[in-house]
Structure 1
Amino acid sequence: MTSHSFSVAMHIGAHKTATSHLQRSLKRASDALAEQGVRYYGPEYFRLPGHSLQALFGFRPGIKAGGAMRPADAQLALLRQNGHRLVLSEENFIGPLNQPHGRGMKHRYKSADDRLTKLSKAIGQPVDVFLAIRRPTAFINSAYCQMLLGGRVQPVAMFQRRNPLSSVDWSELIARLRAAAGVGRLVVWQYEDYGAVFSQIMAGMVGEGAASYVPPRPRYINRGLSADAVVHVLSQTDTMGEEKIARAARNMFPVEQGHAPFDGFAPEEHAIGDAAYARQLAQIAQMQGVTLLRPAPD
């Protein structure tokens, strides 16, 4: 369906790993990238009604084969616009950060490999996959705050029981992605290294020649909640809607003004999570066909 000079990159997140910062950086540079033959599409496109990747290429549940708005090759040509590199970014493609109604999640992104295989089949060629991972305790903390900001309130202890540290197993996820049919290059980096490896990420996504056209935005996009903000949210009754309460609390008790970031874990729990993270990183570093980006040595 496509020529060998054309390739596709898919940034799949994960959630809460500076995805919005990366997406906004690409979006700001999209005109310059287009002049270099690189076409970028992010959440502002894929979250329009009927514009999810599953809908565009006809493989979402409930759509029979060939039930997309237009044939796959026509859809691809529309996105490609004669470019040689198509860069897609949508963390929701591989699944939600949190389950609806605050339910638990024992295994994260369990459909990610299957969805990537279906996307590759629809496009007609392998898809290069880009994924950031994060310290498990920080990831769970951020997922909890995001749930509050989304208007669903529950005690942190309940959330942690429903979303244990064992649910954050990056090596298991990456092994599944590597084994999935249709996945080409698989590039991984740590959220903790994001700033230091940003240029490497861009070089892999848009190509060495175009990477200089994508400078990082000067600051992060989505601010987390402080400990005081979480206490405030949990103390409120539903007088204005939980989502409004959480967003108001973020402004009332901002981390940027000295309020300590929310942390629902004790030091010994962080130690357990960090030990698991170290084991996962060691396993990922040894996986064939996986590139784990590292900061350049000083």
Structure 2
Amino acid sequence: MDVILHLGAHRTATTGFQDYMRRHKAPLAEQHVGFWGPGRTRRGLFSGIIPGPVAARGRDLRTRGEGRVQLRLKGARLRGVKTLVVSDENMLGAVRENLCEGSLYPSAGERMARFARAFDGEISGLLLSVRSLELWWCSALAFGVSRGHPLPMRNKLAMIAGSQRGWRDVITDVACAVPGVPIRVMPFESFAGRADIFLARGTGIDAPPDNDRQWLNRAPGLPDLRRVLTERGTEAAELPFGMGRWNPFSNEQHAALREVYADDIMWLTAGADGLATLTEDRIRTRAGTTPPAGSDKKGQPDEHEERQVARPG
């Protein structure tokens, strides 16, 4: 049985892909394709693999977690599954960790080493979606604020923009943690809102067409953030005027993040030192990113360059 881990990342249309896999469970099962998504992995399956803040006394939670994964893998094989797709972006880390550390998945290597042990050498391939860093961080920050994080201080924005850690570093950490396993990198700019094409190009599966494409869990735009902050009684006036995407970075910071991503793509295009394979959709790249039908309500918000003066600090 081939086991393919889809690592996300967050803010790269991962929720839409998971929704597609659930909606097409029946036709995929006819091809002996199984799927584990967050509905399974976050309801106890992965418990103990990554240590929590407090370990239970007298219980080896990690060993129990690894055993649980092995039992579920055995069950999938007995049911005749030939290809198992496991999709959970939290395997790489959490958005809140990135925001608190001001760094892109700083613990990705350590976390993936634990998952490699849990799957006990049965991982056949890894899929990773990447996104231009200035847009990724804008989306992550907006998501974080909507979930309770404060508006970022100037020093935090400077830390993020000044960090040289990009997708190349994340990929290198993952490759070291899961040596010998092929890593296929799928740019958000090529595959966003096209889960069927993503599955086909990423796994070789004859993916059923998606006739109800939706971009889910999109980043909140400025009106949504104003509402959230007003309800919390904080800081809404510090957001800029406008209706589009929130961009808290200065022009210089925006350019610095974009440059790191350009270097990442150049490295991937040149072969990624043999660590990963870049997969692009040339037709999509030439034509530009076109949102799926109905995305004005369910897709990514307009990418207007709305800016704000960050909070001092």
Does residue 1:264 correspond to 2:248, yes or no?
Answer: yes
1:271-290 residue pairs with structure 2 within 5 A? Answer: 271-285=255-269, 286-287=271-272, 288-290=274-276
Mapped to 2, the partners of 1:113 and 1:29 lie a distance apart of 32
- Check 1:64–1:266 CA distance in 2 against 1; reply closer, same or farther (3 A cut): closer
Task: Give the equivalent residue in structure 1 for 2:130.
Answer: 133
Task: Give the equivalent residue in structure 1 for 2:81.
Answer: 83
Task: Give the equivalent residue in structure 2 for 1:113.
Answer: 109
Task: Give the equivalent residue in structure 2 for 1:3.
Answer: none
Deviation at 1:8, TM superposition (A): 0.5
Kindly, what percent of the aligned residue pairs are identical? 24
- Structure 2: which amino acid aligns with 1:220? W
Deviation at 1:152, TM superposition (A): 2.4
Deviation at 1:259, TM superposition (A): 2.0
What SS is found at the alignment partner of 1:129?
A: strand
Does residue 1:203 correspond to 2:188, yes or no?
Answer: no
What SS is found at the alignment partner of 1:131?
A: strand
In structure 2, stretches of 5+ residues that fail to align are: 287-313
What SS is found at the alignment partner of 2:117?
A: helix
Task: Give the equivalent residue in structure 2 for 1:123.
Answer: 119
Task: Give the equivalent residue in structure 2 for 1:60.
Answer: 50
- Check 1:219–1:34 CA distance in 2 against 1; reply closer, same or farther (3 A cut): same
Deviation at 1:291, TM superposition (A): 1.3
1:218-237 residue pairs with structure 2 within 5 A? Answer: 218-231=213-226, 233-234=228-229, 236=230
- The superposition leaves residues 199-250 of structure 1 with CA deviations (integer Å, 9 ceiling, x where unpaired) of 5531255533x32x2527422112322234434545x3635xx8xx99xxxx
1:1-298 residue pairs with structure 2 within 5 A? Answer: 6-48=1-43, 50-51=44-45, 53=46, 55=47, 59-61=49-51, 62=55, 63-64=60-61, 66-68=63-65, 70=67, 72-80=69-77, 81-99=79-97, 104-127=100-123, 128-155=125-152, 157=154, 159-161=156-158, 163-164=160-161, 166=163, 168-182=165-179, 184-195=181-192, 198-208=195-205, 210-211=206-207, 213-215=208-210, 217-231=212-226, 233-234=228-229, 236=230, 238=232, 259-285=243-269, 286-287=271-272, 288-297=274-283
Q: TM-score, normalised by structure 2?
A: 0.74
Query: What is the aligned residue count?
Result: 269
Mapped to 2, the partners of 1:167 and 1:105 lie a distance apart of 13
Deviation at 1:32, TM superposition (A): 1.5
- Structure 1: which amino acid aligns with 2:15? S
Contact 1:200 1:293 in 2 (8 A): no
In structure 1, stretches of 5+ residues that fail to align are: 1-5, 247-252
- The superposition leaves residues 165-221 of structure 1 with CA deviations (integer Å, 9 ceiling, x where unpaired) of 52651111112222323551101122111249755531255533x32x252742211
- Structure 1: which amino acid aligns with 2:277? T
Mapped to 2, the partners of 1:261 and 1:83 lie a distance apart of 42
Task: Give the equivalent residue in structure 1 for 2:297.
Answer: none
- Structure 2: which amino acid aligns with 1:42? G
